[in-house]
Amino acid sequence: MINKFVKATLSAATVAAICTTTIAVAQEEQQGSTSYSESDITFTVDDQVQLTGLSDIDLGTYSATDTGEVTGGDTFCVYVNGADDFTITASNTANDASDFTLDEEGDGTDQIQYTVRVANGDVATAAATAALGYDSASGNLTGSNQRNCGGSDNTAVEISVDEQEMREATTGDYAGTLQLLVTPS
């Protein structure tokens, strides 16, 4: 029987690499007319997400003869490798970073609160879901396993402003930036 021993001198860099890398040692059989060896192979796929196709949402103009809430929305693509689940956390960049608000342009002293809803599907589907809390994650949604969703959107956001908010608002233009954070779940 032949035994093989391997001697090695390890530098500090090699020791550091060994501490963070899994090394599989091949098992070898004895020398002869045939030989057998095996090697363990490992591979890791990290989470991958991409949100594409989200456009600006223009809620239009609310005039004296209008009634009811104002709504708007958009569809977009969320790619998640393996078509795994994800959540969306919504926030905004308005002056009051604890509610979804549109700030009056100019002096910014008045604000209009709005509601955010998200869902897989179209804007009508999103409108039928529960509103998101500010900076709180949605329930699980399903991602597409194709970047850019193969040319069609798989997720929607719906924005709504209650009529009372507009009736109490000062005349002017209001704007804000909605931020959507996609997180694999």
Task: Report the alpha-carbon angle 106-109-115, nearest 5.
Answer: 100
pLDDT at 20: 41
Residue at 25 is within a domain: no
Determine the Cα–Cα distance for residues 156 and 6; give it in Å rounded to an integer. 60
Would 155 be classed as within a structural domain?
yes
Res 91 pLDDT > 50 = yes
- Which is it for strands 155-161 and 70-80: parallel, antiparallel or unpaired? antiparallel
Burial class of 138 by CB neighbour count within 10 A (0 to 12, 13 to 18, 19+): buried
* pLDDT, tens only, 11-51: 333 333 333 444 455 556 677 888 888 999 999 999 999 99
Determine the pLDDT at residue 36: 85
What's residue 95's pLDDT?
62
Phi, psi at residue 61, to the nearest 5°?
-120, 135
Task: Note the pTM of the prediction, 2 decimals.
Answer: 0.77
- Which tops the pLDDT comparison, 93 or 117? 117
Q: CATH number of the domain that 171 lies in?
A: 2.60.40.1090
Q: Determine, yes or no, domain membership for 74.
A: yes
Phi, psi (degrees; rounded to nearest 5) at 168:
-90, -10
Q: What is the pLDDT of residue 35?
A: 86
Number of folded domains that form the chain: 1
Is pLDDT of 73 > 80?
A: yes
pLDDT at 15: 33
The b-or-e profile of 9-38 (16+ CB within 10 A means b, else e) is eeeeeeeeeeeeeeeeeeeeeeeeeeeeee
Residue range of the domain that includes 151 = 49-184
pLDDT tens-place string over residues 100-139: 999 998 776 899 999 999 999 999 999 999 999 999 999 9
Across 4-9, average pLDDT: 27
Quick one: CA dihedral 84, 153, 119, 98, positive or negative?
positive
Q: Which parts of 21-158 fold into alpha helices (H)?
A: 123-127
Q: If you ran DSSP here, which 8-state letter would residue 106 be given?
A: T
Q: Indicate if the pLDDT at residue 1 is higher than 50.
A: no
Taking residues 64-73, what's their average pLDDT?
94
Mean pLDDT in residue range 151-159? 97
Residue 174 lies in a domain: yes
Indicate whether 16 belongs to any domain. Answer: no
